[in-house]
Amino acid sequence: MEEPLVPLVPMSHTAHIRSHRKPRRNASKMAMRAGVAGGILGSVAVAGASASANAAEPVTQTIELPTLTADVASQVAQSADAMQQTAANYELQAERDAATAKAAKQAAADLKEAKAEAKKKAEAERRAAAERATRNAERSTLASTSTSTSASAPASGSVATVIAFLNAQVGDAYVMGATGPNAWDCSSLVQAAFKQAGVDLPRVSQDQSMSGTEVSLSNVQVGDILYWGSKGSAYHTGVYIGGGQYLDAANPSKGVVIQELSGYPASGAVRVL
C-alpha cells in the first residue's frame, strides 16, 4: 500500500544549517591561558636545550683531595722519623746482641785456652822443680866424689851429661878459635858441653857471661858457668865441677884441664841448668 504523499512546505534556505560559530569567551580568561601556555612551552624549550647540551658533552666529576695543612704535614714527617728511629733502634739492638754473643763465645774460648795454658804451665813448673831437685842431688854427688884429676858424674841427668862431656875432653889441645873435636878454646868447650844437654849457649865468653841467672860465688854449684872479667865483657869461661874445682880449656900450654878455683878465682858465675 502506498504511503500518502506529504506535501512539502517551503523552508528558508538557512533553516537546516547549524551555525559554526563558537560561543564567545571572556577575553581575560583567554589571555591568562595563553600566558600559562607560553610559560610551559618556554620551560619545555629550556629543558630540551639543557638535555641536548648534556647529551652532547659528557659530564666529568672532579673530586678535590683535601689539602694538607702545615700541622698535618709536620705530624706525618714526625711519624715517619719515629718509625725510622724505631727501625734504627731495632737494628742497633740486633748488632749489640750479636756482639754480646760473639764476646761471650770468645770469652768461653779464652777461658778454655787459659785453663789449658795454666795446666801446661803447672806441669812445666812441676817438671822444672823435679829437674832442679835432680840437679841438686847430682851436684851434691859430684861435689862429694870429685878428685883433683877428674870429676865423677852420675849416670844420668842434664848436669851429669855436661860434666861427662867435659871429663872426656881433658887433655885436648887449646887452640884459639877451635871448636873440637880434639882442640878447643875456652868458650867453644863450654858451648859444646851444654849443647849435649840441649842448651844452646852463645859462642863467645862475653855473651856466655850474660846467659842464665847470676849466682854468687859463695853459692856456686856443680854445672854453673864461671867467668873471668866483667859481666858482659868476660875474657874467659869454665865450668864448676864441685869440690872447689873447675874444668876449662885453659891456654895453649895447659890445654883442657881441671884446676883449683882458689888458685885462679873467678869473677862471677851464671846458672843455665
3-state DSSP of 47-108: HHHHHHHHHHCCCCCCCCCCCCCHHHHHHHHHHHHHHHHHHHHHHHHHHHHHHHHHHHHHHH
Judge whether 74 lies within some domain. no
Is residue 188 one of the residues assigned to a domain?
Answer: yes
| C-alpha to C-alpha distance for 83 and 185, rounded to whole angstroms | 85
Please give the C-alpha separations between residue 10 and each of 16, 69, 138, in angstroms, as whole numbers. Answer: 12, 105, 197
C-alpha 3/C-alpha 27 separation (Å) is 55
- Residue 64 counted as domain residue: no
Decide if 170 is inside a domain: yes
Rounded distance between C-alpha atoms, residue 9 and residue 30, angstroms: 44
Q: What is the pLDDT of residue 120?
A: 83
* Within-domain flag for 103: no
- CATH number, domain of 207, equals 3.90.1720.10
* DSSP E strands, 154-209: 173-174, 183-184
Please tell me the predicted confidence (pLDDT) of residue 90.
85
How far is Cα of residue 28 from the mean position of the Cα atoms in its chain? 112
The answer as to whether 44 is a domain residue is: no
Q: Which residues constitute the domain of residue 177?
A: 142-271
Q: How far apart are the first and last CA of the chain?
A: 192
Q: Distance between CA 226 and CA 205 in Å, rounded?
A: 10
Q: Is residue 19 part of a domain?
A: no
Q: In this structure, are residues 162 and 273 in contact, taking their beta carbons and an 8 Å threshold?
A: yes
Please enumerate in sequence order all residues whose Cβ is within 8 A of that of 213, keeping only pairs 6 or more positions apart, or say none.
270, 271, 272
Reduce the DSSP state of residue 47 to 3 states and report it: helix
Measure the CA–CA gap between 89 and 99, rounded to whole angstroms: 15
Number of domains in the chain: 1
Q: Tell me whether residue 227 is in a domain.
A: yes
| pLDDT tens, per residue, the chain with 273 residues | 455 555 554 555 544 445 555 555 554 455 455 454 455 444 444 444 444 444 445 555 555 555 556 677 777 778 888 888 888 888 889 888 898 889 888 988 888 888 888 888 878 877 777 766 666 665 565 555 544 444 444 434 699 999 999 999 999 999 999 999 999 999 999 999 999 999 999 999 999 999 999 999 999 999 999 999 999 999 999 999 999 999 999 999 999 999 999 999 999 999 999
Q: How many CB atoms lie within 10 A of CB 270?
A: 21
**Backbone φ and ψ of 45, nearest 5°:** -65, -45
**Angle between helices 158-169 and 70-145 in degrees, nearest 10:** 50
